[in-house]
Structure formats: structure tokens, C-alpha cells
Chain A
Amino acid sequence: MTRDQFETRAFGVLKWLSIAFFLVITVFPLVYMISLSFKDIPEVVTNPADVLPSWEQITTSDTYQSVLRSRDEGGFGFVKFLTNSAFVSVLAVFITVFFAIFAAYAAARLTFRGKKAIQSGIIAIYLFPAVVTAIPLFVLFTRVRIGGVPLRSELWSLAVVYLAQTIPLALYMLRSHFLSVPYSLEEAGMVDGLSRTQVIWKITFPLSAPAVAAVSLYVFMIAWNEFLFAFLFMVTQPENWTLALGLQQLNSTEVPATALMAGSVIISLPVIILFFAAERFLTEGLTAGGVKG
């Protein structure tokens, strides 16, 4: 057997072994999470190797109801966490896109003094540790009060601090997108008598719908998954807990693993559905923008 034949055969086998390995390490934790969320905790403890739940367990399990029920009714209050997370994430998306779209357009099309410095500054800042920016923002939002209440105790304040992470990303991704829209299209519009503003609204923005959608989804996922700021700002206010914080706080008390897994399924499901529904243009956006993680 020549070296070439040997390698072809060896790497052929290795390839399938590798695919199996990667599928196990990525899919098994997901299967484990979903399976445990339907099981009873005594059964998990007595027979841990028996992972998959029976059909009867899946249809009769009341773990999800108890996780979702409010605390007053003896549950873990996840409906409240869900609405908090949804509110913060959607708000963060709207504010981010609103501000980033104009700034990104200007950065791509217009020339002004200090443009280079601002652009490289934004990228450098994007790399700055979130824990470092978190400290002054925490002080500021604790100290500033509206009507005697610190800003930190308002749920919307989370959406505002998330802008520190989402705006640089959105600016970067949208700017790359605007650079890819041929300028000749806009020029043609202007030759036909449109003003600059009309060109932006009638030509450039409609062409940008997919890019804006991708940016929105990323911002939504960042806000939905975010833990550090939610922890710093809201840990003393259970009524403002997001899903990420609520789930982490649940973990520090005597809560069965099955309920924790049901909570994990609840927090993961929306982002998994969104990501895979839009996988194609999201992965393109990711490699273009480098989403922080």
C-alpha cells in the first residue's frame, strides 16, 4: 500500500470517527437537558444512567408547570422572568438599530474629520472588558435617581447598559453592509432627482433589510443571554429578574435538577429557534462582524 492509499483510508475512517465525536459532544448535552426536564428527581438520583424519559413521563410531567407558575402559587415564577427578558431584549433591539443605522450609514458614506480615529476607536473599545465598564455604569445607575428611585431599579435601565455591547457590534456589521451596497445605485437615484434623505429611505434602507434583521437577531440574543449586568443591577430585586438571572439564582437554592433543566430548556428554546430559522445569514454576519462571546 502506498503512502497515499494509506492516508486516504486512514483519514477516511478518522473523518467519520471525528464526526461522531463532535455530534456526541454537541448533541448529547442538549438531549440530556431535555430528557431530565421531563423526569422525576428521585428516579434520576436512583438510576442516573437511565437518561431518556418514557412517553408517559413526557405527557404527565408537571415540572414545566411548576417552573412557570408564579411564586405566590408555589412555582418558580418563570413567566415573570420570561416577560422581563422579552421586554429588555426587544427594547435593546429597537434602541440599538435606531441609533446604529444612521451612524453606520454616515461612517460608510460620508467623509468627515476624525472618521478614521472614531472607527478604530469603536473597534478598540469593543475589545474592552465588560467587567471594567460595568463598575462605573453600576455606580452611575445607583447614584442617579428619578423621583427618589435609582435608575438601577428600573427594568429598562438594563436595555440601556446593553447598548455598550450592542451598538459597537451593530455599527460594525451595518457599516460593512453599507459599504457593500454599490454607491452607483445611490448616485443613480440622485441623478433622477431624489434628495440624499430620499435616497437613504427609498434605496439604501430597503436593500438593507436582511442586514438589519441579522443585527436585530444578534442584539436580541446578546440581551437575552446577558448575565453580568442583570446580576449586578437586579440581584436584590426579584421582580426584575431576567431569565438568565432567575435561573442562576434558582441554582443557589435547594431546587431539583429536573426543574433547573426545564428552566434551561425555556431560556434556550427561543434563541435556538431564532438562530436556526435564520442560520444562513446569521453565520455570514458572524464571520463578517465577529460577534463577541
Chain B
Amino acid sequence: MTVPGALIVGALIIFPILWNVVLSLQQVRLIDLQSLNFFSFDANLDNYRRVSGVSSFWPAIRNTVVYAISGTVLSIGLGLWAALIVRKPFKGRAAVRGLMLFPYVVPVVAATLVWQIMLNPTFGIINEWLTAGGGEPIRFLSSASYDVTILGFTFGIPLALTVVILFEGWRYFPFAFLFILARLQAIPGELEEAATVDGATISQRFRYLIVPELKGVLSVLILLRFIWTFNKFDDIFLLTGGEAGTEVITVQIIEWLNGRGEIGSAAALGLILAAILSVMLFVYLKFFYQEEEAA
């Protein structure tokens, strides 16, 4: 009975991964796909040289790492904050809890469209509010750098990249929220009562009671969210198309595949992506990961 399931996993996942390795060593182009013989070829590393040779290669790697780390931290941070405030019962709690899931449930194409229109420089509501007291509208999704002046110092912030990271935090905090809330509710109430009786304040109870209890679930969340944000394609492609300093590796892969029709190069870059991810995961699991105790 396991055979059909295993076959599907093999055909749709393991086989493509292995074939990816082969493709990355071949000169396969979209236009001669029909006539190509996949079994006779001169294996070489030209694709790897080509994808790592373009000037946008290193910026894309930097963007991917920045995006994945910031998106992970922001979504888990917001999720933790949201879970802490709806932990204790209050009137309308079920409704608040349900509404908080909205960003995660709505299809990504619709979510990115709403953001684009809200941030539109000519008629978007955000710019309308910001410029109500005068000032120039801000082109949030097409500014690679935006100058801000704080205490007399002027510096440029990567605006579009910041916006896609904010989108990531907004869209995926409900995921972290649900995990953390479930864990919070498993903490025995007597523990906190005892701490309160002993005179521990809210911040002390958080620091010495709740944080240790959450270590396991936070470790798992960091792992999952980091992997998924690192591999994310849709959100950035739909929000900015990878323009204005937001190009990540996944967007570049699809550009090689669809834009330039260089299938072999796309496969090579895909494997570079997987390799970087593996190294970062190895470091995380080896030095930072905390197993959930006796779970």
C-alpha cells in the first residue's frame, strides 16, 4: 500500500532533484528543448561559471540572506507579541484570534495586490496619510534607497527591501502566533500563580517562566520560517518583480529559466541556493537549535 505513495514522492520530488544536478551540467536551452538528447552530453561547469559571473549574483545572495533572517525574526517577533496579548481570556478574544489569521489565509496574489495599491504613490491610502500635512509621496516599492535624516545624520535605507521584509512579517506572523499560543496554553496555570504569590512581576514571570518554556517551540519556528523564507519566490516576485534592490536568488532562478530560457543555468543556480541553505542550516542546528524537552 505504501508503493503508490512512495512512487509519487520519488517521481515528483527525488527524481526532479537528481535530474536538476544533471541539467545543471548540460547546456540546455528552452528553444531547443524539443530536439535535445538528454542522455548524450559533455558535462561541464559552464552553467555555474555563468550564473556566478553576472553582476547581480552577489547582491542576490546578500538580499536573500538579509530577507530570510529579517523576515524570520520579524514574523516570529510579531507572532510572539500577538500570542502574549491574547493568551488570557477577554471579551471578543475568539474574534480577535480569528481575525489575526487573515494575512496568512488570504491568497498571496490578493495580499500583494492590496499592498501594492495601499502603497501606490498617486492614490494609495498610505501615501495619502503621509502627505496629508504636505510632502512628497514615497515610492515604496520602487525605491532601492531612500534618504532619511535622523539627528542631523542623513543615510539611505533600502526602502523596497524593507517593505518586502515588512510584508513577510505581516503575512507569516499568524503562523508563529498559532504555534506559540498553543505552547503558552500548555503551561500549567499553577506555575504562574505560584510565581505571582512569590511576588514575581509580569516582566519577571515572562523572563524566568515563559521564555524558558517557549525555547523549544521558538527553535522549531526559527528553523521552519528561515527555510521557507529563504526559498520564497512568490512574495517578492509579485510585490516588486525583484526590482529596486529586492532581487533574491529564487527570483533570479526564474529569470534564468523564463526570461533568458537558460534551463541549465537555472538548475545550477537552484543547486547553489540549496547548498547555501544547507550550510546555514547545519550551522544553526549544530550551534543554536534547542530540542523541545520531553515533548
A residues in contact (CB < 8 Å) with B:
3-4, 7-8, 11, 15, 18-19, 22-23, 25-27, 29-30, 32-33, 36, 44-45, 48-49, 51, 99-100, 102-107, 110, 112, 118, 121-122, 125, 127-140, 142-143, 160-161, 163-164, 167-168, 171, 221, 224-225, 227-228, 232, 235, 243-244, 247-248, 251, 257, 260-261, 263-265, 267-268, 271-272, 275-276, 279, 283, 286-287, 290-293
Judge whether B267 is part of the interface by a CB distance below 8 angstroms.
yes
* Chain B residues within an 8 Å CB radius of A276: 98
The reply to whether B201 and A3 contact each other, CB–CB distance below 8 Å, is: yes
Asked if B233 CB lies within 8 Å of chain A CBs, one says yes
On whether A8 and B202 interact (CB within 8 A), knowing A264-B113, A290-B224, the answer reads yes
B266 interface hit (Cβ, 8 Å)? yes
Starting from the known contacts A142-B33, A228-B234, 18 additional A-B residue pairs (CB-CB under 8 Å) come to A26-B100, A30-B106, A32-B114, A48-B127, A49-B128, A99-B4, A103-B5, A104-B5, A128-B13, A129-B273, A137-B16, A167-B9, A171-B9, A221-B105, A247-B110, A247-B113, A251-B116, A272-B102
With A32-B118, A227-B108, A227-B234 as known contacts, state yes or no: A135 contacts B266, CB within 8 Å.
yes
From A36, A107, A265, A283, B2 is in contact (CB under 8 Å) with A107
Residues A30 and B102 in contact, CB atoms below 8 Å apart: yes
Q: Which residues of A have CB within 8 Å of B230? A: 129
Known: A7-B203, A15-B85, A283-B178. Is A130-B266 also a contact (CB below 8 A)? no
Residues of A within 8 A of B170 (CB): 25
Residues on B with C-beta less than 8 A from A221 are 105
Q: Sort A-B residue pairs by CB-CB distance and give the 5 closest, nearest first.
A: A103-B5, A264-B110, A129-B231, A132-B270, A136-B16
Q: How far is the CA of A125 from the CA of B211 in the complex (A)?
A: 31
A110–chain B nearest beta-carbon distance, Å:
8
Determine the main DSSP class of A at the interface with B: helix
**Interchain CB contact under 8 A, B99 and A27:** yes
Contacts of B108 in A (CB 8 A): 225, 227, 244
Q: Bound state CA distance, A25 and B82, in angstroms?
A: 12
B232-280 CB contacts (< 8 Å) to partner A: 233-234, 238, 250, 253-254, 257-258, 263, 266-267, 270-271, 273-274, 277
**Which of B17-25, B156-164, B283-291 makes up part of the contact surface?**
B17-25
Cross-chain contact B107 with A139 (CB below 8 angstroms): no
Given the known interface contacts A136-B19, A164-B12, A257-B123, the answer about A171 and B178 at a Cβ–Cβ threshold of 8 Å is no
C-alpha spacing A287/B257, complex, angstroms:
35
User: Could you list some 30 contacts between A and B, CB below 8 A?
Assistant: A7-B201, A18-B81, A49-B128, A105-B1, A125-B14, A125-B17, A127-B227, A129-B231, A130-B233, A131-B250, A131-B254, A131-B273, A132-B253, A132-B267, A132-B270, A135-B257, A136-B17, A136-B23, A139-B23, A163-B12, A167-B5, A225-B108, A225-B109, A232-B257, A247-B113, A260-B113, A260-B117, A271-B107, A283-B101, A286-B175
The answer to whether A287 touches B202, judged by C-beta atoms less than 8 angstroms apart, is no
A227–B273 Cα distance when bound, in Å, is 20
Contacts of B8 in A (CB 8 A): 99, 163, 167
B191: CB under 8 A from chain A? no
Knowing A135-B23, A163-B12 are in contact, say whether A248-B178 is a contact too (CB < 8 A). Answer: no
Query: Which of B82, B122, B270 is within 8 Å of A129, CB to CB?
Result: B270
**Inside 8 A of A122's CB, which chain B residues have their CB?**
9
Say which residue of B105, B132, B253 sits within 8 Å of A272 (CB atoms): B105
Q: Which of A25, A104, A286, A292 contacts B228 (CB 8 A)?
A: A292
Instruction: Tell me the B82-119 residues at the A interface (CB within 8 Å).
Output: 82, 85-86, 96, 98-111, 113-118
Contacts of A128 in B (CB 8 A): 13, 17, 231, 274
Contact residue range for chain B?
A: 35 or more
Q: Quote the shortest CB–CB distance from B165 to chain A (angstroms).
A: 15
A218 → chain B closest CB, angstroms: 11
CB distance from A248 to the nearest CB of B (A): 5
Q: Is the CB of B253 within 8 A of A131?
A: yes
CB-defined contacts of A261 to chain B, threshold 8 Å: 113-114, 117
* Contact of B149 with A by CB under 8 A: no
Whether B105 pairs with A275 at a CB distance below 8 angstroms is yes
Contact A293 B228 (CB under 8 A): yes
Determine the distance from Cα of A32 to Cα of B170 in the docked complex, in whole angstroms.
16
Is there an interface contact between A135 and B270, defined as CB atoms closer than 8 Å? yes
- Is B253 a contact partner of A103 (Cβ separation < 8 A)? no
Say how far B232's CB is from chain A's closest CB, in angstroms: 9
**Residues of chain A contacted by B2 (CB below 8 angstroms):** 102-103, 106-107, 110, 112
In the complex, what distance in Å separates the CA atom of A228 from the CA atom of B23?
20
Q: Does B134 contact A (CB under 8 A)?
A: no
Shortest C-beta distance, A132 to chain B (Å), equals 4
Cβ contacts B169-188/A at 8 Å (1 or 0 each): 01010010011001000000
Q: Is there an interface contact between A264 and B228, defined as CB atoms closer than 8 Å?
A: no
Q: How far is the CB of B111 from chain A (nearest CB, A)?
A: 8
Q: Which residue of B lies closest to A133 (CB)?
A: B16
> Given A99-B8, A102-B4, A167-B9, is A49 in contact with B129 using a C-beta cutoff of 8 Å?
yes
